[in-house]
């Protein structure tokens, strides 16, 4: 099975611009979560999508948004970029399987998108 893929891998933007990042989950996984990783704040949860609905959200401003499509692929958008938005953005997918004993907590991560805001 292919893993979680994220595009693009690297992105350079300037302040005030907006950006869209894409994530394709592992086949069959319906939950997609997004995290921001910075040296100062560590790994912080942004939001989770399941069946095209946002069901969990972290403590980020409204400039950060996302969506999920019917094929479980997800995008996140950051509008009006600030210097502090420079980070590695990680996407993770998961599924709940009682038989295998896995849960939505057991998340499989993509390689991330490195966003640099100048």
Burial class (CB in 10 A: 0-12, 13-18, 19+), 58: middle
In whole angstroms, how close is the CB of 63 to another protein at the nearest point? 20
CA pair distance 109, 33, nearest whole angstrom: 9
In whole angstroms, how close is the CB of 41 to another protein at the nearest point? 9
Indicate the residue among 10 and 70 with the shorter CB distance to another protein.
10
In whole angstroms, how close is the CB of 17 to another protein at the nearest point? 24
Q: How many distinct helices (H) and strands (E) make up the chain? A: 0, 11
Binding site for another protein (CB under 8 A): 4, 31-33, 35, 42-43, 45, 48, 50, 55-56, 58, 90, 92, 94, 96, 101, 103-112, 114
DSSP sequence for 95-106 = --BTTTTB-TTS
Indicate the residue among 59 and 70 with the shorter CB distance to another protein.
59
Indicate the residue among 62 and 101 with the shorter CB distance to another protein.
101
Nearest to 67 by CA among 79, 53, 55, 78: 53
In whole angstroms, how close is the CB of 112 to another protein at the nearest point? 5
């Amino acid at each position: 099975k292919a893993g979680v893929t994220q595009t693009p891998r690297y992105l350079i933007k300037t302040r005030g611009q907006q950006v869209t990042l894409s994530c394709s989950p592992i086949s069959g996984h319906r939950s997609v979560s997004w995290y921001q990783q910075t040296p100062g704040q560590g790994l912080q949860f942004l939001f989770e999508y399941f069946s095209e609905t946002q069901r969990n959200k972290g403590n980020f401003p409204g400039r950060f948004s996302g969506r999920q499509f019917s094929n479980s692929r997800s995008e996140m958008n950051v509008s009006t970029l600030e210097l502090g938005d420079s980070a590695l953005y990680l996407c993770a997918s998961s599924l709940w399987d009682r038989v295998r004993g896995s849960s939505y907590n057991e998340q499989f991560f993509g390689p991330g998108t490195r966003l640099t805001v100048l």
